[in-house]
A = this chain, B = another copy of it.
Amino acid sequence: MLSNACQYAIRSVLYLSIHSTHEIKIGVKKVAEELETPQPFLAKLLQQLAKSNLISSVKGPNGGFYLTEKNLENSLWDIVKCIDGGDKFDNCFLGLSLCDDSNPCPVHFIVTPFKDKLLNDFRDKTLAQFTKEIITTRRVLSLKDYNVLEKK
């Protein structure tokens, strides 16, 4: 459903949301290691996100990527739009060019509620809210998160 690129991007942003601040910037290398993603590929994505002002960056020593308060007001949907495009959830599950409530494909009414829910969740929560939930409910973003939970 989401491209690899978009999955990496979302996880990166959430990772930054959890671990970075204006004072603590994080380099591609670190992020790629933590999330187990191909480094140069991730670099491209982070650059793209930075260009769209979804994340912030500083070059040079001790530079890296981080999220500002402003960045934290964006949503996951903004990430998806930036990487995969805004029509990602529009397409019919069976590929019909025309498929809506009055002309539904055979799985339309199974798939639509889910897409709506997902879209709402992605669109209506800010990264700040989402991140808070991730922390309080101990959601997993990388193998290292998993290990942390295991060790407790």
* Minimal beta-carbon separation of A129 from chain B (angstroms): 11
Question: Do the beta carbons of B121 and A107 come within 8 Å of each other?
Answer: yes
When distances are taken between beta carbons in the complex, the residues of chain B under 8 Å from A8 are 95
Binds B, one of A23-31, A40-48, A61-69, A140-148: A140-148
Taking CB atoms and an 8 Å cut-off, the chain A residues in 102-131 that contact chain B are: 103-108, 110-111, 114, 117-118, 121, 130
* Minimal beta-carbon separation of A64 from chain B (angstroms): 22
Q: Pick from A11, A36, A107, A140 the residue with the most CB of B within 10 Å.
A: A140
**What is the 8 Å Cβ interface bit string for chain A, positions 6-26, against chain B (1 contact, 0 not)?**
011011001000000000000
Q: Pick from A96, A108, A114, A121 the residue with the most CB of B within 10 Å.
A: A96
Other-chain residue from B7, B110, B149 in contact with A121 (beta carbon distance below 8 A): B110
When distances are taken between beta carbons in the complex, the residues of chain B under 8 Å from A143 are 97-98
Given contacts A103-B146, A114-B114, A118-B111, contact A10 B130 (CB under 8 A): no
Q: Pick from A105, A114, A149 the residue with the most CB of B within 10 Å.
A: A105
5 cross-chain CB contacts under 8 A? A2-B94, A7-B95, A96-B142, A104-B139, A107-B118
Residue numbers of A with Cβ under 8 A of B are: 1-2, 4, 7-8, 10-11, 14, 36, 93-99, 103-108, 110-111, 114, 117-118, 121, 130, 133-134, 139-143, 146, 149
